[in-house]
Structure 1
Amino acid sequence: MDLPDLADLRAAAHVVSLPLVTRFRGIDHREALLLRGPEGWTEFSPFLEYDDAEASVWLAAALDFGWRPQPAPVRERVPVNATVPAVAAEDVAAVLARYDGCRTAKVKVAERGQSLRDDVARVRAVRAAMGPEGRVRLDANGGWNIDEAEHAVHALAEFDLEYLEQPCAEVAELAELRERLADWGIPIAADESVRKAADPLAVARAGAADLVVVKAQPLGGVGAALRIVAESGLPAVVSSALDTSIGLSMGLTLAAALPDLPYDCGLGTASLLAADVTATPLRPQGGALVAGRVEADAGLLRQHAASPDRHAWWLARLERCHAVLAAR
């Protein structure tokens, strides 16, 4: 695509810092750069540790969503899951209470500094809260090696797991673990092996996953993510990257456009934010979200504006990533 002028982007950029309800991914505030293009509001929010090459893909997604028409939806409502960070078991009920009507919970496990005993206690609390008909999936973010993952499955299988997301970091590890667990009936989902891979289809070709987790920003936009799902030949779950409601609207556009959506999507994460940039945050109602564009609220943009030094940091990042895209 033809890139919008950098000077115009810099002049229009809003950088916000939103507090979280509970610490997640090691942070207690989520920063994002927001822009309004001809098609509406859009978001550029790669995590702070990502280098410019990786972050530029997120910028491509933001510009695509703000400056280009998006694929037509095939559904209006998107069922979503609750997301339970690596909290203590006694805090699980309070987290789940923020997700109205959600029948599925994704539980973070393999947190650095915690033990399998912590994971078991957390998952047990989630299962107790969800009841026998609730769906419980686990996300290890690649935190286990093969043996650790197999051992964890033995300890956690009693909680009737829907699937296990990115238990190991490498595709070869996922493939071996999938073979070891063939008789357990627990599907393997690939997340980082899709969105952070030089070849996002390698995990599917290797037979290392039963489904893929896709996120619009890290994959370069809605259209790019749709192509990856189609070429993978696997069922897909659309998830978020702890976006503001504007970024979540991009993920919802993706989920609404997928031909098939067999799993609840990880797009209810506005419930992890203590504040947002719109007067009508995309929090689940009746276990679902309605797809559509989100309008930023000028007062909330001012209220949650990042400090001047953080604003400058994000503008510099925007400039570098714009240069990466311009050089392609």
Structure 2
Amino acid sequence: MMQPASQGIAAAPPAAGRPAVCLPQGVALEPLLAELRRLSWGAADILRAYGRGVQPPYGFPLALSVDDGGEGPVSAADLAVNQWLLDGVAAAFPSAAWTLLSEETAKEQIRAGVPLDAEWLWILDPLDGTKDFLQGTGEYAVHLALLQRGEPVLGVVLLPELEELWFGLVGAGAEAPGLAWRENRAGERFAPALSPRRALGELVLVASRNHRDQRLEQLLQALALGDTRAVGSVGGKVATILRGDADLYISLSGKSAPKDWDMAAPEAVLRAAGGAFSHADGRPLSYNDGDVRQAGCLIASHGPSHRLLCEAAAVALATIDPGFVV
């Protein structure tokens, strides 16, 4: 465990071994992390209030109308947290040379086939795991990711009900490893604890309750993994890998696919912790490329067994669904 802030250490990553994170001109890492903490815990308070049907903080109303969604706590929560995050980042860094994109603003910002003209891009998901939010499982998350030329540099995954705030500073290869940690509201920090499991037969899969089809079941049978855990939201799934409770997560797109805002922040934190996140053929995930869908067979893992997992999945899918682009 990292030394907690309550023992006299500021709630920021240790200076020793900290990766040199490239940021836009005029933006320093420590003020940025401080603002991300403030915004994240504020988002947690907003979401928990909507989830419990009580008055949200910061002046947000109990219900908001949505042209294409009706009224209710989910629509209100999405829009309130979206506004809180976008306004907060813009106000804290008014001259920063970055663009902000969220799930809620994508329809207005994105044209099919046309990447956004932005070297620096924030990709936000104010509420990942809407079904779990509705069902009251508590397994929902908030995602924030900063990208430079489509490559994740910094990721934040907030789990409001667990009061966990994960940060990831992505390194630039073996000579510049990344750094990931989680914080609680008290500012105590804890290092990731990726599991020591290696053989496919002992790996623990974390899967969705709401997005499973026959192809995925066939793939899992072919991989012959160990135990399976069901957790909502991509951020929540990746957090189970970071804690060592699970070893891998597989996203297998069908009629629909996850989007950039589902994957960017969890990928950043997992990679910063030493894990891996790629397509089954080894290709890296691609962001801001004119298509926000993250289609194919995507595998997130604790790292050491990643190549073996990808190879086995690619071989299995060639039989299960010939022609499927992994």
Q: Structure 1-normalised TM-score?
A: 0.25
Name the structure where helix makes up a greater proportion of residues.
1
Q: Structure 2-normalised TM-score?
A: 0.26
Higher relative contact order by CA 8 Å / sep ≥ 6: 1 or 2? 1
